[in-house]
Structure 1
């Protein structure tokens, strides 16, 4: 049985550093035996089909291949279509009423419980808010991620210690669901 996945590469093609051309990434993934490979934007999303492995083993394989090919380490999170769809459907904020730049999802490599984020004084950042999901954090930032003080706080190493974390705006969250949808 084959499954449709998305790979989220963290911190590539930002500010001219750690360049990973998407055409090269597609070729690399196809060379690993992955099928129906597609990429989205330059910020590190690829969708593919595989009949082997699981999310963790595929993420490790892709991270090794990217480092060997491009010469620098890149954290990779792999999630299947069902998970990506569930994240979009479970959004605790009114996504349809917000601009994509106002709503973000941070995908984590493992579950992050509320206790980890207990030190964050949520009231101090209002109207910005965050909510935890399963291996995901939803962030509402009305002025966008670039101006978000809460996003800065949530990205502090002590809050994400031991986790790979990568954030995508709502348009990308929705696009990942589309890209990983099983062929009709």
Structure 2
């Protein structure tokens, strides 16, 4: 059975660092035997199908291939359509009423518990808010991620140690769910 996945590459094509041309990424992924490879934007989003492997093994395989081809390490998360749909449906914020730049999802490599973020005083950052979900953190930042003090606090190394984390704005979250369902 073939499954459609989204690959989320962390920290590529940001500020001129870790350049990964999307055409090259598609070719690399096709060379790994993945089918229906498509990329979305330049920020490390790819959709593909595979009959072999699971999310973790596919992420490891793609990460190793990127390192071998481009010469630098890149964290990769792979998630299937059912998971992406569940993340979209479980959003605790009124996504339909917000601009895509106001709502973000940080995907984690494994579950994190609320204890990890207990030191973040939510009231200090209002109207910004966050909620945890299944291997995700939802962030409402009305002025956008670039101006978010809460995002800065949540990204402190001690809070995200031992976990691969990569964020996407809501528009990308929706688009990846749609692309993996097509």
Tell me the TM-score normalized by structure 2.
Answer: 0.99
Partner of residue 98, structure 1: 98
Distance 1:180 1:157 in 2: 31
Partner of residue 128, structure 2: 128
Q: What do residues 50-88 of structure 1 show as CA deviations (whole Å, max 9, x unaligned)?
A: 000100000000000000000000000000000000000
1:1-184 matches, within 5 Å, as: 1-181=1-181, 183=182
Secondary structure, aligned partner of 1:19: coil
Residue 180 of structure 1: CA displacement? 0.4
Distance 2:157 2:4 in 1: 31
Tell me the TM-score normalized by structure 1.
Answer: 0.98
Distance 1:154 1:120 in 2: 7
Residue 179 of structure 1: CA displacement? 1.0
Distance 1:155 1:57 in 2: 26
Distance 2:99 2:179 in 1: 21
Residue 169 of structure 1: CA displacement? 0.2
Secondary structure, aligned partner of 2:33: coil
Which blocks of at least 5 consecutive residues in structure 2 are unaligned? none
Q: What do residues 150-172 of structure 1 show as CA deviations (whole Å, max 9, x unaligned)?
A: 00011111101100000000000
Distance 2:157 2:55 in 1: 24
Q: RMSD of the TM alignment (CA)?
A: 0.5
Secondary structure, aligned partner of 1:173: helix
Deviation above 6 Å: which 4+ runs of structure 1? Answer: none
Distance 1:86 1:156 in 2: 27
Which blocks of at least 5 consecutive residues in structure 1 are unaligned? none
Distance 1:162 1:16 in 2: 26
Q: What do residues 7-66 of structure 1 show as CA deviations (whole Å, max 9, x unaligned)?
A: 000000000111000000000000000000000000000000000010000000000000
Distance 2:99 2:112 in 1: 26
